[in-house]
Amino acid sequence: MKKIKTGSKKWTNRHETFTEKIKDLYVLGNEPDLDALDGYNDSTKGFQQLIAEAIQTKTPFRPLGAGWSWPKIATVSNGVMMDTKPLNTTLTISQQSVLPTYAGDIRKLLFAQCGNGVWELSLELRQKKLSLKTSGASNGQTIVGAMSTGAHGSTFDVGAVQDYVLGMHIIVSPTRHIWLERKSAPVVSSAFIKKLGTELLGDDDLFNAALVSFGSFGIIHGVLIEAENIFLIEAYRRRMPYDNTLKALMQTLDFSTANLPCGNERPFHFSIALNPYDMKNGAYVSTFYKRPYRDDYVRAVPNDAGIGPGDDAPCFIGKITDVVPALVPVVVNKLIGTAMAPFEKQYGTLGEIFNNTDLHGKLLSSAIGIPLNQVNRVTDLLFEINKTDGPFAGVFAYRFIKKSKALLAFTHFDFTCILELDGAFSATTQKFYTAVWKRLDNEKIPYTFHWGKVNEMNFKKIKNMYGSDADTWIAARNKLLDADSMKVFTNPILTKWGLDKVL
């Protein structure tokens, strides 16, 4: 494996919301003179050497994806960070590599090395007339980074990014690496295991724990994902009255009597944005429908603000600076009026509609998951809090995702409403967040935090949110890692969250 020591002594995340002091930043890559499989296996050995060095020198280190998270998930104070983005090999899965009992379509399986960007996988799959099942709006993330923080995806009947991962190759020590999959849903054959020179481990609890594990279960070197046939999205955004009809849709996802662009057809994607300073003109309602693929469609184009149909608020909220409270409504209305302009019947593949690979200004972003039956109650509280602890320089945005099997996925409820609060980078925004979280606690409304966004997490809250799943997650980590490796893969935020416990 190629390893370049950059000598960097500090690292800043993509949103430029913090800078961390580090010992060094390594840029890693596959050896170019080797074929795909040999290069991948050579990088496995390289990772094991790095773990051995870290243990010997007592230097913690952290694999880094695209650096998209707001919290310090990918950092390790005075340790080594490893840029894995150049590790972007993919391997086609052959008939010999899967079990005869596997009931899925082998053509739809793809093995992806950790550094692959979501956008890269979308391009590769398109050439095979395939598509990812879902992605976030920010598809500049790496596939393992998105999975490991529970990135929630964009369609409520599919789930989150981690929900189409079938297996993981994890390097857990200088002498051990494993292929981890669910015992209840085995996929790969002994021939596949032999190709990677690894050890097969089928364990549902371990697998469901490792899916969302923030880089703390070892190095997830590669993942096996299940794609689907390529399809088109037919996309609409309309202003609609924020009335009892819309509120009922948001709280039930019952579209049987809906009056949406395609009548009562159940959408592929349904999201709402509320501008608290322009409610008289209604909500921004985005409905995307799944359509059979054809070649002769007219591609969707960005609007006058450069915002595409699938772009979310972080694509434009960063343009709002910290302004005096009296100007917040004016500034928000002006920006939202252009950035969220309605559109009709735009087409694109998943990778074209959700195609944001960059950022547009510094901002703060928090997201919480709440049960569907609490959506309208929480919205009413938001308007109240905005009067007492605002004004919030941003929008209230809602997406809807079904429950994930990952133990610590924040899409934790049967159907989770994801409330996204993207606002200006300011102390006022942070004050608003704190007030929201405190009010939810006081009202005893269940909620979860998006791990990769601004949150206020500690072990007491984690236990309250996840119950015994948090204990199972900790037990799984202890089962998988030996004492030396646990130290290497522990960073300050894991300790802050109380998930570093040694059993």
Instruction: Verify that 208 and 252 share a domain, yes or no.
Output: no
The per-residue pLDDT for 359 is: 57
What pTM does this model have?
0.94
Q: Kindly report the CA angle at 489 between 486 and 494, in degrees rounded to 5?
A: 95
- Single-letter amino acid code for the residue at 253: L
Alpha carbons 189 and 98: distance in angstroms, whole number: 5
CA pair distance 295, 284, nearest whole angstrom: 30
Radius of gyration over every alpha carbon of the chain, rounded to an integer in angstroms: 22
Strand, helix or coil at 417? strand
Give the Cα separation of 317 and 339 in Å (integer): 9
**402-438 pLDDT, tens digit each:** 999 999 999 999 989 999 998 888 889 999 999 999 9
Structural contact between residues 415 and 253, judged by C-beta atoms closer than 8 angstroms: yes
Q: Are residues 491 and 354 in the same domain?
A: no
Q: Residues 40, 182: one domain? A: yes
Do residues 389 and 328 make contact, with C-beta atoms less than 8 angstroms apart? no
Residue 128 inside a domain? The answer is yes
Same domain, 62 and 153: yes
Q: Centre a 10 Å sphere on the Cβ of residue 24 and count the other Cβ atoms it contains.
A: 17
Q: How many domains are there within the chain? A: 2
Task: Give the tokens for residue 478.
Answer: 């202890």
| 420 vs 112: CA distance, rounded Å | 29
Nearest to 212 by CA among 151, 142, 140: 151
Q: Do 403 and 255 share a structural domain?
A: yes
For residue 175, what pLDDT is reported?
97
Q: Tokens 């596939």 label which residue?
A: 143
What CATH number did the domain enclosing 254 receive?
3.40.462.10
Asked if the peptide bond before residue 391 counts as cis, ω within 30 degrees of 0, the response is yes
Q: Give 115-182 as a 3 state SS string.
A: CCEHHHHHHHHHHCCEECCCCCCECCCEHHHHHHCCCCCCECCCECHHHHEEEEEEEEECCEEEEEEC
Identify whether residues 176 and 247 lie together within a single domain: no
Q: What is the pLDDT of residue 130?
A: 98
451 in the same domain as 403: yes
Looking up residue 184, the CATH number of its domain turns out to be: 3.30.465.10
Of 227, 172, 224, 166, give the one whose Cα is nearest residue 195.
224
Beta carbons of 403 and 413 less than 8 angstroms apart:
yes
Spatial distance between the Cα atoms of 429 and 389, rounded to a whole number of angstroms: 9
Q: Is 467 part of any domain? A: no
Distance of alpha carbon 330 from alpha carbon 463, whole angstroms: 41
The answer to whether position 27 is within a domain reads yes
Does 472 reside within a domain? no
Q: How many residues does the chain have?
A: 503
Q: Do 187 and 287 share a structural domain?
A: no
Domain that holds residue 357: 231-456
Q: Cα torsion for 235, 237, 243, 247, to the nearest 10°?
A: 40
Looking at the domain assignment, is residue 255 inside a domain?
yes
Find the angle CA(301)-CA(226)-CA(300) to the nearest 5 degrees: 5
Residues with pLDDT less than 50, the chain: none
Distance between CA atoms of 39 and 52, rounded to whole angstroms? Answer: 20
The answer to whether the beta carbons of residues 258 and 405 sit under 8 Å apart is no
Together in a domain, 318 and 354: yes
Residue 205 and residue 249 share a domain: no
Query: What is residue 203's three-state secondary structure?
Result: coil
- Please check whether residue 447 lies inside any domain of the structure: yes
- Tell me: do 385 and 422 sit in the same domain: yes
List CB contacts of 239: < 8 A, sequence separation 6 or more.
281, 282, 283, 284, 285, 342
Residues 164 and 246 grouped into a single domain: no
Residues 11-38 pLDDT 10s: 888 777 788 899 999 999 999 999 999 9
383 contacts 276 by C-beta, under 8 angstroms? yes
pLDDT score for 16: 75
Strands 176-181 and 199-202: parallel
Specify the pLDDT at position 356.
67
Report yes or no on 51 lying in a domain.
yes
Residue 78: partners with Cβ closer than 8 Å, 6 or more residues away: 21, 22, 23
Query: Does some domain include residue 259?
Result: yes
Token pair 């692959």: residue: 116
pLDDT at 363: 80
